[in-house]
Amino acid sequence: MKKIAITGLGFITSIGNDKNQVLDSLINLKCGIGLHPEFTDEKCPVKCAGIIKDFSTQGIDPEDWTYPSKYAVKREVLRGFSPHVLYAYCSTMQAIEDANLSLEDVANDTSTGMYTASSGSTTFLYNHMQRMDKVGVMRCHPMGVVSSVVGTLSYNLVSSFKITGASCGFASACASSSHALGFACDEISMGRQKRMIIVGGEDGDYRTILPFAGMRALSHSKDPNTASRPFDKNRDGFVGTAGATTMIIEDEETALARGAKIYGYILSWGQASDGYNVAIPHPEGIGLINAINNAFESANIKADDVDYINAHATSTPIGDVAELKAIKKVFGENSKVAISSTKAITGHGLSLTGIMEASFCALAMKEGLSIGSANISDLDDEAKSLNIIQKTEKTDPKIMLSLSSGFGGANTCIVFGK
């Protein structure tokens, strides 16, 4: 089986638009959450979300958007984009450069593939359906479908970057981009591809985030600095966020042959399902327990080998407790493994979250850090016996886990090695 090296990262996130900004935010736990300019309706109790800086993507016409000039996108390419596709295009350009590759290196190369994850663009879909109803089916926007439906990220990026290897879009809610990363690892470990580009993105706007209010899943806090507080006893729901993250992985032989820098390795991954409820995790975290154990078996490691866990913990009362119970079951009631949730500063990226947090782990592993969990003033009783770290620490972790869970009880565990 091929060893899988992480060689490139790119970020457009609420805590930074490149890896240096993101690293600074992770070290100092700088919050990327703000009062969302679209959440102003007096009837809407939700006010906070992760905010992307230096991009203005309001409006249905991409030619009206503004974004950093270094990412100049050709008009014929841009016209098929929704906001998260633009974010992802920019994060992918970053990752290719960060991996010391050129656009020519990834284009028209059947050994380079791309897996993506997003929930599509609900705002674009809504507007295009309204247009069809008002002016008729023959006056639909010609790019309406490819700019809005769930596969839009894959359609646009695979064509823009001339990817001729494996490509696919994944849809398993908040586990989507972790599934994309896991299956991308399989492509490499089995020798089918030498390089994979994994991308996640979300619009993070009014129609992406606010439907969760009806599920009573969103925080009603009006204080952006403390609205997202995983593991805190007084948490009242998650805070949504926008953005995109790209990770490039390669088989070790390919990476070393071209002298690539290596952030770390992906040792294995595991997945399992709860089989319990369409929207609520199993109260004892059964699926997550099985996903972690499957990853351990594949990597031939045990719980005592793990130094740090980046938990899924979204800041919902039910979800955080179920995950904590799963962690206790695998690691023990009084485990000393360092645990945190970076969603305290980023917000919850939905289908983006898996690859974003996996990339945080890659950065932290390269820098020898265990990332802290912010905004905890009163630790949940379920967490008190565990090592929930509240500051970023220089611990030089050798093995890290990134956990993700999604609707329907989809669970993943990615294992990273120094």
Q: Domain extents for the chain? A: 4-417
Residue 137 has pLDDT above 80, yes or no: yes
Q: Are 310 and 400 in contact (CB under 8 A)?
A: yes
Residue 140 has pLDDT above 90, yes or no: no
Q: What gap in Å lies between CA 336 and CA 44, rounded to an integer? A: 41
Six token digits for residue 93: 């350009």
CA dihedral 135, 141, 146, 147 (to 10 degrees): -100
What confidence tens digit (pLDDT) does each residue in 346-385 have?
Answer: 999 999 999 999 999 999 999 999 999 999 999 999 999 9
Alpha helices, DSSP H, located in 258-401: 286-299, 317-331, 343-346, 353-367
Q: What gap in Å lies between CA 418 and CA 398, rounded to an integer? A: 5
Return all residues near 346 (Cβ < 8 A) that are at least 6 apart: 13, 14, 15, 32, 33, 50, 228, 241, 356
Q: Are 88 and 153 in contact (CB under 8 A)?
A: yes
What confidence tens digit (pLDDT) does each residue in 51-75 have?
Answer: 999 999 998 999 999 999 999 999 9
**DSSP 8-state class, residue 137:** G
**What share of the chain in percent tops pLDDT 90?**
97
Grouping H, G, I as helix, E, B as strand and the rest as coil, residue 418 is coil
The beta-strand segments (E) located in 165-242 are 167-170, 195-202
Residue 16 has pLDDT above 80, yes or no: yes
pLDDT for 11 equals 98
Q: What gap in Å lies between CA 303 and CA 336, rounded to an integer? A: 11
Average pLDDT over residues 16-27: 98
Residue type, 196: M
pLDDT for 106 equals 98
CB-facing half-sphere around the CA of 111: CA atoms within 13 A: 11
Q: In angstroms, what CA-CA distances link 195 with 35, 53, 169?
A: 39, 30, 17
Burial of 134 (0-12, 13-18, 19+ CB in 10 A): exposed
Active site residues: 174, 312, 348
pLDDT for 285 equals 98
Q: What gap in Å lies between CA 251 and CA 66, rounded to an integer? A: 37
Residue 1 has pLDDT above 80, yes or no: no
Q: Are 359 and 63 in contact (CB under 8 A)?
A: no
- Which residues make beta-bridge pairs with 25? none
pLDDT for 364 equals 98
Q: In angstroms, what CA-CA distances link 176 with 150, 319, 407?
A: 11, 17, 10
Q: In angstroms, what CA-CA distances link 28 with 15, 19, 32, 379, 401?
A: 11, 14, 12, 20, 21
Average pLDDT over residues 14-33: 98
Q: What gap in Å lies between CA 321 and CA 200, rounded to an integer? A: 26
DSSP element (H, E) containing 131: helix 122-135
pLDDT for 10 equals 98
Mean pLDDT, the chain, whole residue set? 97
Length of the chain: 418
Question: Can you give 6-75 as a three-state secondary structure string?
Answer: EEEEEEEECCECCHHHHHHHHHHCCCCEEECCCCCCCCCCCCEEECCCCCECCCCCHHHCECCHHHCCCH
What confidence tens digit (pLDDT) does each residue in 74-124 have?
Answer: 999 999 999 999 999 999 999 999 999 999 999 999 999 999 999 999 999
Q: Domain 4-417 classified CATH 3.40.47.10?
A: yes
Residue 402 binned pLDDT confidence (cut-offs 50, 70, 90): very high
What confidence tens digit (pLDDT) does each residue in 287-303 have?
Answer: 999 999 999 999 999 99
pLDDT for 174 equals 98
What confidence tens digit (pLDDT) does each residue in 221-266 have?
Answer: 999 999 999 999 999 999 999 999 999 999 999 999 999 999 999 9
Residue 141 binned pLDDT confidence (cut-offs 50, 70, 90): confident
- Max alpha carbon distance in the chain (Å)? 64
**What share of the chain in percent tops pLDDT 70?**
100
Residue type, 37: P
Residue 393 binned pLDDT confidence (cut-offs 50, 70, 90): very high
